[in-house]
Structure 1
Amino acid sequence: MGSHAAPHHHKRMLVTAASLLLVGGGLLGLPRADGAPAPADACRTTAAHLPRGDCGPFWQVLAEDFNGDRVPLGSFSDCEHDVDTSAAHCGGLKGKYRDNWWAYPTGWPDTAADRGRQVVGVYHPEDTVSVGPAANGDGRMSIRMWRPADGGPVHAAAVVPRAVMQMKYGKYSARIKVTKLAPGYKSAWLHYGGGCEMDHPEGEWTGSLSSFHHPCGGGEQGWFPGSDDWTRWHTVSTEWTPGHVRFFVDGRQTGHDTRDVPDLPLSWVLQNESALEGPGAAPGSSAQLDITWVAAYAYGWK
């Protein structure tokens, strides 16, 4: 993994004509112009329940539904160990969560700090990340970001599944919902490094859910809209294979690019932070994203 803040501006440009052809008419999961349905993801991952098992060229290396677990606030602490490596860990975690999860350490600035935003964020996993049952009993990882009433920086969170740190290619899926909405908060779940970046999902939580591809060799980014509403449950997936990156929302392909796709090991960062567009978070405000399951797969030739 490279730095702890995403290195690119995400300007909402239309993709190039070539990239539009690569999308194949799959934007928003609608049928293509030739009448064929948009491609489904390799695992046909649309259900509310955690998918288990291998599919297509992908073999599962992580399957977490958070059921039966409680990781209280304060546990994602002491995360400065072996940062940005597959040995990274949080000393405050125990058992399988210590084995399977890491978070950007307390005190690292978020992306807004590099952009001259009036309201910026600082990563504080110890008071933003927890695991436990929702009111209906469903186990969830909750990311509750907030801004102090005195107007200080937003408390942000970026969590990293250790099983897929520094992995080349793969499939990355999760089921997510913004359960508490407020202006000034966003997500940018990404793979980046070596001048390359793939972001899915990304967007201010009060706006649209999109994906972006920044080709390794530079040039115009690909922008692919996926949904207009973060406050509904969505299954999001990225499939990264040699020469291809594909983005899916609720099992339907929303974007596909082949321009300078990364061919080096990268980590999957579930990055949540202060907004880069629109109003900043108000003092005393908070917003929350819930994750009901996470699944990740390595890629292998078959």
Structure 2
Amino acid sequence: MWNRTAARDWRRITSIVVAAGTVAASALGISSAHDHHHHHAGGSGSSPTQPATPTPPTPTSAPTEPTPEPTASAPITPAPAPTTSAPTPSSPSNPAGSTTTMPTGNVTSNGRTWVQSYAEDFDTAAAKGSVLQKYPKMAAYDGYNDTSGQGLYAPDKVLSVANGNLDFDLHSENGQPLVATILPDGYSAQTTGRVSVRYKTTKTPGYKFVGMMWPSSDDWNQGEIDWPEADLGGVPRPASAVPGTYSNGAMHFEPESEQFAPTDTTGYHVATTEWDKTAVRFYWDGTLVATTTKAVPTTPMRVTLQAETAIGEGTTPASSKGSVDIDWISIWK
């Protein structure tokens, strides 16, 4: 088990953009609750999450679990059924393999049928400043600083949709790094859930990306699930906070031993988080990377995709310019 210090300060919030409109957020003043991510710290004197040249170890410590092939059922409305059959996964341990086609319909994995509640393929083009209008289910943070304090949430200057991708254009204007965090299905909450996202990033110093499940109550002590998480172009590492372990500005995170995805994020990959009642599982292109049974939230959470300045790595260079491209995201309950 390892600790991560807090960098969640709702007092920085000035506003939150919800769908097409902006609503004022109250200054809650809860230093432990924020949808921002932390720097991984594996105890005193430990190295940061992303080593300079991370070598992903073989995840031998992850328990092997039966992972049946996904069984598709009726797709959710209004998503149309695929016009061609998706290829059958080549391995029974491939519940969320890499595919260019967004999964639609329910999925059976680890003995449970997951009911799809959201799917977005980003087929409608949207210029900067119009994404939240054209994707009204989506919400985004706006107008306050990110976890490190260097980046400013500015969705209208960062987000656009083109060529079937939601693009995060991470860059600086007048020396100010601009970043974005989206809630694909808004503030919709769920207790247990499955999320798959197909994405890639540039290899860019000074920025990072993380997919999160974050407590709807904004009480960090209820837990936090992070997958995928890495500096842009880095090798993702999974993590889940053990509920009830908040102390002195930190939470305990699992898995206890460091585990990494088999590849970096410079090519398209599918990251899948499976949060069940007794375990949280982390998949990369359908391969199980890690499992934890110790850090399993029990309260409602929301899905968040967060691109921000890197943490614990000094000043983000004003010349750094990078991108995160989301091909599709699917959510099940």
Do they fold alike, i.e. is TM over 0.5?
Answer: yes
Distance 1:8 1:22, change over 3 A: same
Instruction: Tell me the CA shift for residue 230 of structure 1.
Output: 1.2
What are the Cα deviations for residues 72-126 of structure 1, in whole angstroms up to 9, with x where unaligned?
10124xxxxxxxxxxxxx5xx14xx11x211112x1210112xxxxxx1111101
State the alpha-carbon separation in 1 of the partners of residues 205 and 192 from structure 2: 34
What residue number does 1:102 align with? 139
Instruction: Tell me the CA shift for residue 292 of structure 1.
Output: 0.8
Higher normalized helix content (fraction of residues): 1
- SS of equivalent to 2:311: coil
Tell whether 2:114 aligns with 1:58: yes
State the alpha-carbon separation in 1 of the partners of residues 64 and 107 from structure 2: 24
- Greater relative contact order (Cα < 8 A, sep 6+): 1
State the alpha-carbon separation in 2 of the partners of residues 276 and 199 from structure 1: 15
Tell whether 2:322 aligns with 1:287: yes
What residue number does 2:70 align with? none
What residue number does 1:264 align with? 299
Distance 1:201 1:242, change over 3 A: same
Instruction: Tell me the CA shift for residue 210 of structure 1.
Output: 1.4
Q: Is the 8 A contact 2:254 2:292 kept in 1?
A: no
Instruction: Tell me the CA shift for residue 5 of structure 1.
Output: 4.2
Question: Cα RMSD over matched residues?
Answer: 2.7
What is the number of equivalent residue pairs in this alignment?
Answer: 248
Amino acid at match of 2:240: H
Instruction: Tell me the CA shift for residue 203 of structure 1.
Output: 1.2
| 2:212 equivalent among 160, 174, 190 | 190
| 2:242 equivalent among 189, 195, 215 | 215
| 1:124 equivalent among 148, 154, 160 | 154
Q: Is the 8 A contact 1:199 1:211 kept in 2?
A: yes
**Equivalent residues in 2 for 1:118-197, closer than 5 Å:** 120-133=150-163, 139-148=164-173, 150-152=174-176, 154-162=177-185, 165-178=188-201, 180-193=202-215, 194=219, 195=221, 196-197=223-224
What residue number does 2:125 align with? 70
Distance 1:55 1:228, change over 3 A: closer
What are the Cα deviations for residues 140-195 of structure 1, in whole angstroms up to 9, with x where unaligned?
110111122x422x1011011226722111110010011x3320010121112331
Amino acid at match of 1:62: Y
Distance 1:213 1:220, change over 3 A: closer
Q: Is the 8 A contact 1:46 1:250 kept in 2?
A: yes
- SS of equivalent to 1:276: coil
Amino acid at match of 1:203: A
TM-score under structure 2 length normalisation:
0.68
TM-score under structure 1 length normalisation:
0.74
Distance 1:168 1:127, change over 3 A: same
* Structure 2 unmatched ranges of 5 or more: 1-7, 11-32, 47-58, 66-89, 246-251
Instruction: Tell me the CA shift for residue 233 of structure 1.
Output: 1.0
- SS of equivalent to 2:156: helix
